[in-house]
Amino acid sequence: MGKNYFKYYRKMIEKVAIIGAGISGLSFGYQLIKNNHHNFTIYESTSRCGGVISTHSDSKYLYEEGPNTFSISDKRTLQMINDLNLEIVYPLDSSKARYILRNNEPKNIPNSFFSFLTSDFISLTTKFKILKEVFNRKKPLNETESIYDFFERRFNKEFVEYLVNPFIAGTFSGNPKTLSIKHAFPKMYDFENEYKSITKGFIKSKKPPNQIKRSIISFKSGMEELIISLSKLLEKQICLNSKVISIDNVDSKFLLKISINNEIITRVYDKVVVTIPIHKLNELKLTDQDSNDLKNNIVIDYPPLSTITLSYKKKDIPLPINGFGLLVPEIEKKNILGVLYLSSMFDYRAPKDETLFTVFIGGSRQPSLASLSKKEIIKLVKTDLKSIYGIINQPVYVEHKYWPQSIPQYSLDYQNHLNSLKKIERNLNGLTFTGNYIGGISLENNILNAMKSANKLINYNYE
């Protein structure tokens, strides 16, 4: 054992504070316990864990108020689910179809490369552009290239407007003209740099060691099951209604001032992990002035987003709504960003004689729409549903959820923000940032990045 064992032992007794009990904070805690490190506390300023992950459940309806599904493609994520004894629910066969609006009509998107090239969704010109992409040697005009410019350069405008634009609205609630290809889609960026072609990159790149076949999943009682199970595992370490006000670095220790039930206390830690969203960092004071100034200069856009969940009697919908959902390109000039077909995605989400779906509005495309009144938003949504699906009858259920800050936008100057975060970590040795503003916005990105950070913080091999 010797020297390496004692280094490992010192790591095991270090006290760790985790700020935030969203999926990143909980995943960090899970990984610490998996490494047999129990000497940590998770501080959550609200009365519940989970952050944006929240499931609505009543006697008739089950739906998500935050992320609707969980895309997994890594065996470490699957292992965590198995460790928590969660029962995975897979989408119904009826959800396989995916649609994009074109000329005000939902068009089924082919699910294979060959069927895509033989479909009538895109023009012959664009099909040739896709086939010839391997020979495209056109260079970017700017070092910080947008998603829009990247895909227009590699393919063409139609490809961007009818495939990339709606996808970005549906994932980032974003605008491809203002998002960085390097940070939002690093794999695509790397493929071009290494193989001079996206197509060639997909064919020739090596499969990551932990990669498994991608699956879209949920759980019987919704996504909040994941949060409940993690919270139960970490119940001894979680402190709710506990807001960290400031962090002071003194003699290689961190002094945290924490407001717990309106009482200010001070606690000392060896390491600190910050998982709260960037837009909440201004509420956290760093007594190191340089670091505090850097923190306050990190301004990342989180566009507002509203969701409207509606249920209609099936007899009131002229055509059956089956599939995963519909994405709406900006060029179609609609109010909505997209629609998720909830009752055809999973069983037991609505009564059998009803169709339940969630509609998204706002985002970077039309941020002002997200903050309208519930009545005004519902009116806009009904207008588009009538235009697209021919629905004229009233829904039997309507609920509205407003997210004033939805998803961090990986802007063209995003590297500057990451550099500032890295500099703060260097200034305050032992402080770590992790969250959906670093390394990807998906739930799986959050989980894997938190696991990686936890391993780096405490995991030492010893003989």
What SS3 string covers 437-462? CCCCCCHHHHHHHHHHHHHHHHCCCC
313 conformational bin, left if phi > 0, alpha if psi -120 to 50, beta if neither: beta
Label residues 84-102 b or e (16+ Cβ within 10 Å = b).
Answer: bebeebebeebbebbbbbb
The dotted CATH code for 2-52+222-300+413-458 is 3.50.50.60
- Average pLDDT of the residues in 114-136: 91
The long-range contacts involving 135-142, CB below 8 angstroms and separated by at least 24 positions, are 135/197, 136/197, 137/196
Q: Do residues 224 and 50 touch, judged by C-beta distance below 8 A? A: yes
Task: State the pLDDT at residue 11.
Answer: 55
Q: Do residues 354 and 342 touch, judged by C-beta distance below 8 A? A: no
Summarised one tens digit per residue, pLDDT across range 226-273 is 999 999 999 999 999 999 999 999 999 999 999 998 899 999 999 999
Task: State the pLDDT at residue 4.
Answer: 53
Q: Terminal CA-to-CA distance of the chain, rounded, Å?
A: 5
Answer yes or no: is pLDDT of 220 > 80: yes
Q: Between 225 and 287, whose confidence is greater?
A: 225
Answer yes or no: is pLDDT of 5 > 50: no
Q: What angle do CA 189, 194, 196 make, to 5 degrees?
A: 80
Alpha helices in 62-140 (DSSP H): 75-83, 113-118, 124-131
Q: Do residues 72 and 215 touch, judged by C-beta distance below 8 A? A: yes
Name the band, by pLDDT with cuts 50, 70 and 90, for residue 459. Answer: low
Residue 194 CA to residue 207 CA, distance in Å, equals 15
Helix axes 23-34, 75-83, angle to 10 degrees: 80
In the numeric block, the tokens 């064992």 are attached to 5
- Average pLDDT of the residues in 347-366: 97
The dotted CATH code for 122-213 is 1.10.3110.10
With residue 36 as reference, give the H or E element that holds it.
none
Residue 356 CA to residue 311 CA, distance in Å, equals 4
Enter the tokens of residue 369. Answer: 């729409």
Beta bridge partners of 286: 247
Q: Between 128 and 9, whose confidence is greater?
A: 128
Q: Between 113 and 417, whose confidence is greater?
A: 417
With residue 48 as reference, give the H or E element that holds it.
none
The one-letter amino acid at 204: K
In the numeric block, the tokens 């012959």 are attached to 124
Q: Do residues 217 and 72 touch, judged by C-beta distance below 8 A? A: yes
Task: State the pLDDT at residue 141.
Answer: 84
Alpha-carbon dihedral 286, 292, 297, 300, rounded to 10 degrees: -20
Summarised one tens digit per residue, pLDDT across range 24-56 is 999 999 999 999 999 999 999 999 999 999 999
How confident is the prediction for the chain on average, in pLDDT? Answer: 94
Task: State the pLDDT at residue 24.
Answer: 98
Answer yes or no: is pLDDT of 9 > 90: no
Task: State the pLDDT at residue 113.
Answer: 79
| Phi and psi torsions of 391, nearest 5° | -80, 120
In the numeric block, the tokens 């099951």 are attached to 225
Please give the model's pTM, rounded to 2 decimal places: 0.94
Enter the tokens of residue 360. Answer: 């998204």
Task: State the pLDDT at residue 2.
Answer: 46
Pick the closest to residue 354 from 63, 54, 55, 53 (CA basis): 63
CA atoms within 13 A on the CB side of 415: 8
Q: Between 338 and 320, whose confidence is greater?
A: 338
Q: Do residues 184 and 176 touch, judged by C-beta distance below 8 A? A: no
Beta strand segments in 314-427, E: 325-327, 336-341, 354-362, 397-403
Answer yes or no: is pLDDT of 21 > 60: yes
Exposed/middle/buried for residue 420 (C-beta within 10 Å: 0-12, 13-18, 19+): middle
What is the β-pairing status of strands 211-219 and 88-89?
A: antiparallel
Answer yes or no: is pLDDT of 6 > 60: no
Three-state SS for 150? helix
> What is the greatest pairwise CA distance in the chain?
76
Q: Do residues 318 and 368 touch, judged by C-beta distance below 8 A? A: no
Task: State the pLDDT at residue 461.
Answer: 39
Summarised one tens digit per residue, pLDDT across range 189-211 is 999 999 999 999 999 999 999 99
Which residue ranges make up each domain of the chain?
A: 2-52+222-300+413-458, 122-213, 303-403
CATH architecture assigned to 303-403: Alpha-Beta Complex (3.90)
